[in-house]
Amino acid sequence: MLLAPNEHDTRCTLADWLELQAILSTRRVGSKGDLLSALDIASDDRTERYSEDPETGITLDQSILEESRNELVLSVFDELEFRAKCLGDAYPFAVDSTRMVLRAAFRDEPWHYGQVTYTFCLLTSAMRLNVLADVKALNAEEKEIALHFQVCACLAAGGYFGGAVCSFGFPRGNASAFLPALKSAYGRFGHGDVKEVIEAGHPEKVKDSGIDVIAWRDHPDGLPGKLYSLGQCASGKDWVDKPVSPKVGMFHGTWFSTAPAVHCLPALFIPFLVHADVSEPPNDSYDTARRRHIAYREREFGVLFDRLRIAFHAATCMAGDQDRRDIVDGAALAANVADWVNRTVSKVLGQARTQ
């Protein structure tokens, strides 16, 4: 059910493919052999003994091509080890780089919400990038992505900032209109005067003004001057076109007579990995290229929450005591994300058996 990757894909894209293979295969395993077989399927000339270098036109011996393939597989397992190291038990896979095998290690009794949110983001990425082939049965699940991703983002914000989180993105669970929802959110925040009406000249029909997640961390005195963040969720592949930082000034200046704060951390939540498109650098290490790329993105987007960070911080949030979870919107809905993951995997496996 997975579209075959090709050798020009980045190590990150190929690592995603192998994770999906491990989740969606009946053996719950993805291996070097699976990846090489998939690459063979995608390459028309792999049955030939010789192949031509597309840049130089030089004919290459097959042994050179196989060596290149092996280096590619090693880079994929290096990426998988990086993910496992970042997440610990929040990573829903077990990596065996010696045997070059990846096993699904998803815990469901009780749920591990780091694993749940990671798997949700992985499946969402696959659906948004059309990696899953002909899965028409997932129309209902695809329509639910935005709602569940909002939950994942709120959990991540709660775990990272260590305070309260308001889920403000449209559609809101309580179906409240824009200004009433804004007044409710900043009533919780404790400072800032929301305008009573939408003034003439401003947009009359406003959903969320580009803000999905409002997060802050109070001091014991409950007074202004605190950690404060406005974030946007972007579950589509066009996330690079959605920085929230330009919207902060407009948000405060348009909808408040007294702004809640001057200093605010912009944040972006995505189900992908920020470094997904980083290729192997010819004259530097991949680790260095990945670090530079994320620093580059930070200059535009602020605090970045990708799949790895969402999973880690969501796990932190859900492992906290009930009082901490009670001030994070979405914490009570985390089980719905787990149900979506189970339902989606079951439907894909069922679809595969009928074909």
203-228 per-position pLDDT tens digit: 888 899 999 999 999 999 999 999 99
Nearest-CA neighbor of 264 among 224, 297, 293, 235? 224
The tens digit of pLDDT for each residue in 282-325 reads 999 999 999 999 999 999 999 999 999 999 999 999 999 999 99
**Report field, pTM of the whole predicted structure over 0.75:** yes
User: Mean pLDDT throughout 57-64?
Assistant: 54
Judged against a pLDDT cut of 80, whether residue 62 lies above it is answered with: no
pLDDT of residue 351: 66
Judged against a pLDDT cut of 80, whether residue 108 lies above it is answered with: no
User: How far apart are the C-alpha atoms of 339 and 227, rounded to whole Å?
Assistant: 33
Residue 284 burial class via C-beta count within 10 angstroms: exposed 0-12, middle 13-18, buried 19 and up: exposed
Are the CB atoms for 233 and 269 separated by under 8 Å? yes
- The Cβ-side half-sphere exposure at 38, using a 13 Å CA radius, reads 23
Average pLDDT value for the chain: 90
- The helix or strand, by DSSP H or E, that contains position 67, with its residue range, turns out to be helix 62-87
The tens digit of pLDDT for each residue in 12-47 reads 999 999 999 999 998 999 999 999 999 887 665 444
